[in-house]
Structure 1
Amino acid sequence: MSDHRHVRTERLLLDEPVAADAADLFALHADPASWRHLPTGVVTDPAAGAVMVEASRVRFTRDGLAYWSVRDAEGGPVVGRGGCSLPDEAVAADVTGRGWWNLYYRFDQRVLGRGYATEMGQAALAAAHDVEPARPVLAYLLEHNVASRRTAERLGLRLVWRGPDAGNPDPDAVRLVYLDRAPDDDLVRALDAEGMGPAHLV
């Protein structure tokens, strides 16, 4: 298994976050423009950047993979955060079928349209399949976030679930779940436990 703390793609530098990234990570997640599909998601606590740095450190050590800080120039600012990470609750529960990789991507509005999310996502999928290929990779999206949906589809993920977005202030919001493989029985049960039951599988 390779060390995935530092990965290079054609245009991107994907690195384990360090303390100096905290301000950029906070700014990225505090920008309302990056949350126009879920306005309640805007991060307001400046300490959140340091929390993200620490979360990635812990997960890289524990799981061999976590979210990266993304740059498009050596020594440049953080222009995105993303990758595959194993949710803490899945580890704590240690329940068969719950230990999926979560694929995440969020980029500075100034670099949108360059295909960075797809390029980073390809590296993330490759890393997840290297670290623990038996774990499926899931991406949770809002249906009206067309750009995010297109990224998931370009990555070859398939839509496996569509239904209400529990807890969303918008009662009409629809949640989509994309997966890198056909869901087996264990995963279907796990999705059901998360409020995404078999009746909504597509």
Structure 2
Amino acid sequence: MSDWRHLRTGRLWLDEPVQDDLEDLHRIHADPDSWAHFPQGRHLDLARTQRTLDASEVEWTHGLGYWSVRDSTNGPVIGMAGCAVVADRPWGNLYYRFDPAARGRGYASEVAEAAVEAAHVVAPDRPVMAYLLEINVASRRTAEKAGLTLVWRGPDAGNEDPDAVRLVYLDREPDAAIRAAVDEHFTPRPAV
């Protein structure tokens, strides 16, 4: 497959986000329950969700990005998920965020598995990464079901919760260059 902008899984319709998805994506990203483990990530205004949608358009120019997720062709967007392969990162970023009403059905795992498979085709030399908070057990399970394993654990730089712990999962054992990039990206910097 050369165009991953539209993919069908067993139960889901995965499509490159379009402007018509903005209201549904904002509803999901603005919902406090969607950000229970990281409240500062919540989208407080439509402009922030628009920036996410605009960034998605750029990500897709590299062959893969985050999809708008529907459980039928005509249904509302119930999530945003996928794997973004961006030029300035040596890994593909696995992401999944769903409407709280759609959780508990295995949708995140279904999309995550499809996204990892797509990333292996689009950028086979690039590892797939999921980074998440240790307290988010459901997200950890999703990453693990998608075949990722824990490779880094440490304080979550910039998190308003000083006790927050960040976990980094990869789909393969990191080589020295990837390990150095992970350390550089996720290790908190001392205040200057």
1:73 aligned onto 2:64 = no
1:110 aligned onto 2:101 = yes
Partner of 1:85: 84
Partner of 2:142: 151
Partner of 1:200: none
Amino acid at match of 2:125: A
Gaps of 5+ in 1: 93-97, 198-202
Give the CA deviation at 1:86.
Answer: 2.8
Within 1, Cα distance between the matches of 2:141 and 2:169?
11
Give the length in aligned residue pairs: 188
Gaps of 5+ in 2: none
Give the CA deviation at 1:136.
Answer: 0.5
Give the CA deviation at 1:50.
Answer: 2.7
1:191 aligned onto 2:189 = no
Within 1, Cα distance between the matches of 2:128 and 2:122?
12
SS at match of 2:121: helix
Within 2, Cα distance between the matches of 1:103 and 1:127?
11
- Normalised to the residue count of structure 2, the TM-score between the two structures is 0.93
Within 1, Cα distance between the matches of 2:38 and 2:58?
27
Structure 1: 4+ residue segments shifted above 6 A: none
1:1-202 map, 5 Å: 1-61=1-61, 63-87=62-86, 91-92=87-88, 98-196=89-187
Aligned residues of 2:93 and 2:128 also touching (Cα < 8 A) = yes
Two-structure CA RMSD over aligned residues (Å): 1.4
- Normalised to the residue count of structure 1, the TM-score between the two structures is 0.89
Aligned residues of 2:32 and 2:42 also touching (Cα < 8 A) = yes
SS at match of 1:105: strand
Within 1, Cα distance between the matches of 2:24 and 2:49?
7
Q: Percent identity?
A: 60
